[in-house]
Chains A and B, each alone.
Chain A
Amino acid sequence: MPNTPRITRRELLRGAALVPVAGALAACATPAAKPSASASAAPAATSAANPFGVAETRPLEIWIFDGGFGTEYATKIHEPLFKQKYPKAEIKHNATKEITKVLQPRFAGGNPPDVIDNSGANAMDFGALAQDGQLQDLTPLLDAPSWDDPAVKVRDTIDQSVIDIGTYDGAFSVLGYVNYIYGVWYSQKAFRDNGWEVPKTWDAFLKLCDAIKKSGTMAPFTYAGKFPQYLYEPLLTTAAKIGGGEVLVHIDNLEDGAWTSEPMRTAAAAWAEVGAKYLMEGTAGLDHVQTQTAQNKYKVAMLPSGSWLENEQKTTTPADFEYGMFPIPDMGSSDKLPYGTLHTQPGENFIVPSKGGNPQGGMEYLRAMLSKKAAGDFSELVRTVSVVKGAGEGRALSPGAASASKAFADAGSNTVYYRWQSWYAQLKDEAVAATGELMTGGLTPEKYLERLQKKADEIKNDSSIKKFKR
C-alpha cells in the first residue's frame, strides 16, 4: 500500500526534536524558577530630604484601583507631588478594576510594579502576598520624617489603627489611606419630617422600627442582601459593644468558641429579629446599589454602611436628603463599651512590592500621599475622610461626612475593628453565606454561630493556611 501515509522512524525523531521547543514555550503556567535579580533596586544615598535613597532617574510604576474614588486623585494630586520632587523620574500610571487578573502574573513572574492600590472586589489576597514575602516592610516609612515637617515622623501623622491593621507578621506592610467609619445611615430630612429620633438603646431602635413599619411611609430597615457582609459588620460591632473589643480579637485569632461567645449570641439573636420583622420586602435579592437607591427614594429608612456611602450615592441622592449616621445603640446597661462606640477601619490599601524595580520610590510615593496637602485635597475631591490626622481641618464637609466625622470625634478611643475577613477569605465567604441565611430565617442564631465556629476551626486546623495574630 504505497499510498497510505506512514511516518518513518527518521521523521518521528525529527518530530521529537521539536518537543523541547514546545516545552520551553510551555513554561508559562508554572511560576518562573528564578525571580529576576533586582540589582537595579539598590538604593541610592540617603539624606534627610531623601530618607529612602530614591534614585532620581529610576521610573516608578503605579497601579490604581479604578473604583468608587476614580483615578483622578492619583493623576491630579499624588503623582504631580512626586514628580515635583523628582522631575527626572518617569511615572508610569496605570489603572484597572481587575487588580488580581492584571497583577498576579506580574508577581508570579518576579517583576511586580512599584506601588499598588490593592483594593476592590478583585484585590489580591494580602495573606498570600505576605506569606510569600512579596510585601515591602514599610517600617522605614513610619520612622521617616513626614513630608511636611522634618521634625515629625510619619508614624505620628496617621491613626494608630492604620499601623495595627497594616501589620503582617510584625512588619507594617499595608497602608490604608481612607478611614472608613461604619454605622447605621439615614436621611436626616426623613427623620425630621416624620418626627423620628435617632435611637440610643436597642429597645428604642426596635420601637422606632415598629413605628416606621406602622406609619406605612417606608420600610424600617434594609441591607445589601446579595452581599451579607454589609450585615455581619453591625452584628460584630454590636457584639464588641456588649463584650468589648476582645470579642473581635478572639475571632481574629481563631480562638476556640470565639464565634459562639455570649456577646455573639446576643448580637446574632438581636439582628435575626430585625431580619424577621423589619426588612424591606425583597431585601435578600437586592445589592448595595439597589438598596441604597431605595433609601434615596424614601422607600426605606435605615441601612448599615460606611463613610464611602455618600460619595457612592452622589448621583441618586436628592439635594435635601441630608445623610446622617448613628452608632450601634446600647444593648443594655452592662455593655462593656459606652454609647458611641464605632467600628472604624482603614481601607483603600496601598502596598509596595518588595521585589519591584523601585521599592524606595514606592515608599517615597506613599510618604508624599501622607502629606497634609495631598490628603486634604484627596478628602475634598472624593468626599471622604483620610487617615492623615487633621487633613480635613478647615475643609467644607458634606452632611454625611460631617456626621461621620462628628461620630468619630465623639467615639474617641472607643473604636473597634476586625481583620479575619481579610486574613481568611474562606471564613469570609462562609460568613457571607451564613449571614444571609440568618437574616432570612434559614438558620437560627445558634446554628449560625455554630456553623461559623466550625469553619473557623477547620481553618485553624488546616496547615496550608497561614495564620495571623493580633
Chain B
Amino acid sequence: MTAFHRYRRGLFITAFLAAPVTLYLVYVISPYLQAFYIAMTDWRGVTATPSFVGLDNFGRLLGDGVFWKAVTHNAALLVLLPLVTIVIALFFAFLLNVGGGQGGQGVTGVRGSKVYRVVFFFPQVLAVAVVAVLFQQVFRPDGSGMLNGPLMALGLGPVGFLSDPGVAFWSVLGVMVWQAVGFYVVLFSAGLASIPREMFEAAQIDGAGRVSLFFRVTLPLLWDTVQVAWVYLGILALDVFAIVWVMTDQHGGPDWSTTVMAAEIYRNAFQYFRFGYASALGVVMFFFTVGFAILSLRFSRRERIEY
C-alpha cells in the first residue's frame, strides 16, 4: 500500500514538474548548450551550414581591445554600483525608519518619511528604456538639457555628460544608481522593520547618537540583507545592457567609453553578423557571471546575529 502511495505521489509531482522542467530545458538549458556549440563555428547568422572552427573565436577575443574595454567597464560597475547604491539606500532607509528626532516618542523616521518612501520607489516603476530616453534629455549638451540649462545659466560651460568620453561612464553609473536606489531603500526598510524596536530604544537610552546607532546597531543587524543586495546589484552590473545601448551615443560610446560585455555581444551578433564570435563572447560572459556567483556565495558566509 505504501509503495502504491509513493508511486501516486511521485506521479503527482512529476506531472506538475514536467511542464516547467521541459520549458526550462528547451528555453534555458538548450540555448546555453547551443551557444557553446555556436561559439566554435564561424556562423554569420544567415547560412544554414556553419563550419566548425574549434577555439578560433576564443583566441580572437583575447586580442579584441574593445571587448576587454567592455570587461573593465563591467568590473568597475561591479565594484561601484553595489557600493554607491547600498550606501545611499542604507542612508535613506535609516533616515526613513530610525533617523527621526529623539523627542521621546521612541524610534521614528524623519518627518514626511511616508511620502519619501513612495517617491524613492518611482524610478523602479519606469521601464529601463524609458529611463534611458528620459536621461538622454536630462543630459542634453545644450541649454535645453535639464542639467546643462542651469549650469549654463550660471555661466559654466556645458558638460558633455554623454558626449565627453571622460564623463559618459559616470553618467551611466549615475543613472543606474538612480534607478536602483529606490528598490533597495524598500528592501532595507523591510529589513529594519524586522529588527526589534527595543534594540534601538535601548541604544538610545544608553546615549547612542544617530551615527553610532547606524554603525553599531543598524548595519550589523542588516548585514544579511546588505549581502543579498550586493549579489543582486552585482548581477545587475554584469548584465547591464539596455541603459547603455539606448542612452549612450553610438551604443556604448563615445569612443567605446561606456560599452559593456552584453553590448559587445549584441553588436557582434546583430550588427557585424558574427554570431559565432558573439557566442564566444557570451560563453566568456557566462563564466564571469558564474565566477561571480561562486565568489559571492563563498565570501558571504558570516555568522548570523540571533535576536
Asked if A23 contacts B30 (CB within 8 A), the reply is yes
Q: Report if A29-B31 is in contact (Cβ < 8 Å); known contacts: A225-B163, A227-B250.
A: yes
Tell me which residues across on chain A come within 8 A of B273, comparing CB atoms: 104, 124-125, 127-128, 425
Q: Identify which of A21, A104, A227 contacts B46 (C-beta below 8 A).
A: A104
B34-70 to A contact mask, C-beta < 8 Å, 1/0: 1101100011111111100100110010010000000
Q: In the complex, are the beta carbons of A464 and B14 less than 8 A apart? A: no
Q: Is A411 an interface residue, CB under 8 A from the partner? A: no
CA distance A133 to B48 in the complex (A): 11
B254 sits at the interface (CB 8 A): yes
Q: Which chain A residue shows the least CB distance to B248?
A: A226
Q: A22-B30, A227-B250, A442-B165 are in contact. Are A31 and B48 (CB under 8 A)?
A: yes
Annotate A34-66 by CB proximity to B: 1 below 8 A, 0 otherwise: 110000000000000000000000000000000
B45–A104 touching, CB < 8 Å:
yes
- The distance in angstroms between the C-alpha atoms of A6 and B42, with both chains bound, is 45
Q: Is the CB of A107 within 8 A of B45?
A: yes
How long is the Cα–Cα vector from A440 to B60 in the complex, in angstroms? 31
Residues of B within 8 A of A127 (CB): 273
B36 → A minimal CB distance (Å): 11
- A426 contacts B34, CB within 8 Å? no
Interface size on A, residues (CB 8 A): 58
Residue B158 contacts which of A281, A426, A434 (CB distance < 8 angstroms)?
A281
Report B-chain residues with C-beta under 8 Å of the C-beta of A32. Answer: 48
Question: Which B residues are CB-close (under 8 A) to A100?
Answer: 270
Interface stretch of the complex, out of B18-26, B96-104, B204-212: B18-26
By a CB distance below 8 angstroms, the chain B residues around A226 are: 163, 249-250
Given contacts A2-B2, A6-B10, A132-B47, contact A284 B250 (CB under 8 A): no
**Contacts of B124-139 to chain A: CB distance below 8 A:** 139
A30 interface contact, C-beta 8 A = yes
Q: How far is the CA of A462 from the CA of B14 in the complex (A)?
A: 51
Residues of B within 8 A of A458 (CB): 63
In the complex the two chains form, is B158's CB within 8 Å of A433's CB? Answer: no
Query: In this complex, what residue of B is CB-closest to A107?
Result: B46
Number of interface residues of B (CB under 8 A): 59
Question: CB < 8 Å: which of B25, B45, B253 contacts A22?
Answer: B25
Report B-chain residues with C-beta under 8 Å of the C-beta of A31. 43, 47-50
Q: Does B46 contact A132, Cβ atoms closer than 8 Å?
A: yes
Query: Is B6 interfacial (CB-CB < 8 Å)?
Result: yes
Cα distance A282–B148 when bound, in Å? 10
* B7 / chain A contacts, CB cutoff of 8 Å: 8
Give CA–CA (A437, B158) in the complex, Å. Answer: 17
The reply on B277 being an interface residue by CB < 8 A is yes
Q: Can you name the residue of chain B whose Cβ is closest to the Cβ of A18?
A: B22
Chain B residues with Cβ below 8 Å from A237 are none
Contacts of A104 in B (CB 8 A): 45-46, 270, 273
Nearest B residue to A31 via CB reads B48
Which residue of chain B is the closest to A458 with respect to CB atoms?
Answer: B63
C-alpha spacing A273/B201, complex, angstroms: 68
Excluding A22-B25, A226-B249, A432-B250, 8 further A-B contacts by CB distance (< 8 Å) are A29-B35, A31-B47, A33-B49, A104-B270, A284-B160, A426-B272, A434-B255, A464-B60
12 contacts between A and B (CB under 8 A): A2-B5, A6-B6, A26-B31, A31-B50, A34-B48, A101-B270, A124-B46, A227-B250, A284-B160, A433-B250, A462-B60, A464-B57
A interface vs B, CB < 8 Å?
A: 2, 5-8, 11, 14-15, 18-19, 21-23, 25-26, 29-35, 100-101, 104, 107-108, 110, 124-125, 127-129, 131-134, 225-227, 281-282, 284-286, 425-426, 429, 432-434, 436-437, 440, 442, 458, 462, 464
Q: 10 closest Cβ contacts across the A-B interface?
A: A285-B141, A285-B163, A26-B30, A128-B273, A282-B141, A132-B47, A284-B163, A107-B46, A282-B142, A125-B273
**Chain B residues with a Cβ under 8 A of chain A:** 2, 5-7, 9-11, 13-14, 18, 22, 25-26, 30-31, 34-35, 37-38, 42-50, 53, 56-57, 60, 63, 139-142, 148, 158, 160-165, 249-250, 253-256, 267, 270-274, 276-277
